Structure formats: C-alpha cells, structure tokens
Amino acid sequence: MATTKFYLDTRATAKGKPAPLKLAITKNGKTALLHLNISLLPEQWDKKTGKISNHPNKMFLNTYITRRKLDADSELLKLIESGEYAKMKALDLKNHIEILYKGKPEEESIPVDRLFSYRLKKFAGNKKESTKGVYLHTYNRMKVFDPNLDKLTFEDITREWLVSFESFLAKTAPSKNARNIHLRNIRAVFNDAIEDEVTNSYPFRRFKIRPVPTAKRSLTAEQLRTLFNYPVEDYAQRHLDMFKLIFFLMGINTIDLFNLKGINNDGRIEYYRAKTGRLYSIKIEPEAMELIDKYRGESFLLNMHDTCNNHHYYAKRLNKALQRIGKTTIGKYGAKTFKPIYPSITTYWARHSWATIAAELEIPKETIAAALGHGGNTVTDIYIDFDRKKVDSANRKVLDWVLYGKR
C-alpha cells in the first residue's frame, strides 16, 4: 500500500521565509506532493515527530493536518477495496485525494468548539438577557473588525490581533473604559475555554487591560444638601424626589425601584436585584416613607408606571430632568435656557454618593458593600445578610449627616 507523510518543501523557498507543508504520497518508489495550504518557517516544523511546533496556531494546525492525513489514508483503503488502487500511480492517487479535499472545505475540519465565535455565543447564552446583549455587542464589533471572525480559533486571536482590534475600537469609542468592556468580554471567553481545556492559548499574558479612572460621579454631603433643597418647578420636583428616594434607599438601581411591589409587615422592601438575582432587603426610613406615600402607585409601589411602562425610558427621562436642575432663563417666545448646577448628574450619582459618604463616616467597607448589594457567598457576606441591623444603622448614619448635619 502507498504511504503518506508530511513534507516541508523548502526547495524553492528563500532562507528564512515560510515554506509550504505538503502531504507526500509514495507508491512503488514514486512520490507525489499534495498541497495542504499551510506555510511554515523551518523552525516551526518538527521533522522527527511530524508535528508543528513554535507556532501560535499549532494546536489547530496539528489537528487540521492530522485529519487531512487520516482522510488520505482512509481513501487509499477504499481504493484498494474497490480495486482501483492497482491501476493508479502516485500522481493519480494525489490527484484523486486532491479532488476529495476540494469537496471538504477547510472549516469543516475545525471542531466547532474550537471556534472563538461559537464559544462566545455559547458563553453569552448562559447569561442573563441584559448581559447576553453586552457579549453579543462585543461579537458584532469583532465581526466588523474581522469579517472572518466565525472561522477564527482561539489560537488565531493573538496579542497582535487584540492590539489591532483595540485600535479599531478607538475610532468609534474614545473612552478607554468603554473599549475595555469588549476586551474583558473576550478575556472571559478565553478563561472559560481554558477551564474546559479547549485551548491553552492566552494572549492576555502579554496584553494587559488597563482601566482609566472614571470621572467623579458622587456629590459631597454639602452638595447633596444644595441639590435636595434647590427650588424647582413642579414637574422637576418629582424627578428630584426620585433621586432623593434612590439615595434614601442606599442607591437602589432604577430598574429595581421601578419594579418594587410593596412593603412587608416589618417596614422593609424586599426584592431580587435585577443585576445579580440576589435577594435584597432595605429598611424604609421615615424620609423614604414620606416620598413613597407621596408617589404611591396601584399595581406597583410607586406610580412611575402610570406615565411610563419601560424602566430604560423612565431612567433616561429622569436623568435628563436632573441635568436641568439649576438656574433657568426664559428667553424670546418663552424658550428656556438651563444652567445646571450638576450638568452630568445621573441616578448613579445617588448610589456613588451614598457609598462615598458612608466611607467618610468610617462605616466598614464590608457593611457598605452589603448595603450596595455587592458581595458573593463569603462568610462576611453571609453574616451581613443575617444581621441586617448593621446595614440599617449605616443608612441611618448617612441620612442623619446629609439631612441634619448630625454625626
């Protein structure tokens, strides 16, 4: 029977340049070379073992050439069984197998689990809908950058690829931290694949994701007092009151505030955080209760749903109103010009402000983390969950300082 083996054909290649790897098919002392559409530097080919080494894509490429050789050997056996083999020369065998290869696209030889885009979509599919959307947005940006993304293995996404991708992102996303979201998503997919032993490739050993400090998003106690007591029109008062309520509830997320159903018999609101799915409980202080009573709803705790049925739209409208609080000038034909006291303020500022002031009051960081709904299942987290009095006391201290100047 004819034999097959790999052969790095350096005969017509200049020194130091990649040479084509071929499959040598030998019968009766005659050899025909079949192109495998792979080029390697001499130092990337281990002639003794017949494997690719010192190549960033070596895992995939070795799998690929092994399958090609198995396909060739299998076809030779079929030719022997059919009787056609006896009348074929080495060149005939090579031409026959070459036709077979053309009927098998290269991508069919790649195990689907080794494709980065497949793993990214699979990884995203196990996330909550909002998080899934973030990962799929990363996929879309990668696809625009590299139209061949769906054919790339983990070994194809090298440090150089990441550097080029980040440069591409910079053209449409000036914020470094915004670009870092995509890079962290890619890193998370790599970590997941390594955990499942799909790849050993990890370009993030040399490609570091360096965050940039974000702009200040908190107000001091004095600035909060100014905001809380600022004279506003009736329509703006409602939005200012919602900001105050978010602060009184230790920076509750807008989506969770929007979807609150009621207050239990212990005077607490209890809900599962939309972001983490974790059960959370907040004691309603008198200042918060006053605002809840003012804006009570029918089907939900607050009447936000009476004018809006989408929390994203509500948050956008709320932030816009907050960013207009300040001196208002009425010009010609009644047009209003706003000179806001805090032009960039959003509902997140209530959350950051609460945490910052709590830290200034020397409230332990573990208690602050629990108050914000952070943490996992550490012993400290379980203790804080069990003894909610620590969190309740922290909130009262923050409110007393901001509202009444009491420490």
- What percent of the chain shows pLDDT beyond 90? 58
Q: Please tell me the least confidently modeled range out of 172-176, 200-204, 376-380.
A: 376-380
pTM of the full predicted structure?
A: 0.58
Using the predicted structure, report yes or no on whether residue 172 has a pLDDT greater than 90: no
pLDDT at 156 (0 to 100): 87
Q: Do strands 326-330 and 336-340 pair parallel, antiparallel, or not at all (unpaired)?
A: antiparallel
Across the range 92-115, mean pLDDT stands at: 73
What digits encode the pLDDT tens for the residues 235-276?
A: 899 999 999 999 999 999 999 999 999 999 999 999 988 877
- What is the rounded distance in angstroms from the CA atom of residue 331 to the CA atom of residue 217? 31
Q: What is the CA radius of gyration of the chain?
A: 32
Instruction: Provide the mean pLDDT of the chain.
Output: 88
What digits encode the pLDDT tens for the residues 353-362?
A: 999 999 999 9
366 is written with which tokens?
A: 């573990």
What digits encode the pLDDT tens for the residues 45-82?
A: 999 999 998 887 777 788 889 888 988 998 998 999 89
Query: Among 156, 196, 200, 164, which residue's Cα sits nearest to residue 183?
Result: 164
What digits encode the pLDDT tens for the residues 274-298?
A: 877 788 899 999 999 999 999 999 8
pLDDT at 173 (0 to 100): 78
What digits encode the pLDDT tens for the residues 207-235?
A: 999 887 666 688 999 999 999 999 998 88
Using the predicted structure, report yes or no on whether residue 399 has a pLDDT greater than 90: yes
pLDDT at 375 (0 to 100): 57
Q: Which residue has the higher pLDDT, 245 or 19?
A: 245
pLDDT bin (cut points 50, 70, 90) of residue 107 is very low
What digits encode the pLDDT tens for the residues 315-374?
A: 999 999 999 999 888 877 777 788 999 999 999 999 999 999 999 999 999 999 889 887
Burial class from Cβ neighbours inside 10 Å (0-12, 13-18, 19+) for residue 142 reads buried
Query: Among 33, 352, 329, 312, which residue's Cα sits nearest to residue 224?
Result: 352
List domains and CATH numbers for the chain: 3-109 (no CATH), 112-205 (1.10.150), 221-404 (1.10.443)
pLDDT at 209 (0 to 100): 92
Query: Among 192, 42, 173, which residue's Cα sits nearest to residue 127?
Result: 192
What digits encode the pLDDT tens for the residues 382-393?
A: 444 547 899 999
Across the range 189-201, mean pLDDT stands at: 88
Using the predicted structure, report yes or no on whether residue 381 has a pLDDT greater than 50: no
pLDDT at 104 (0 to 100): 55
Across the range 14-33, mean pLDDT stands at: 91
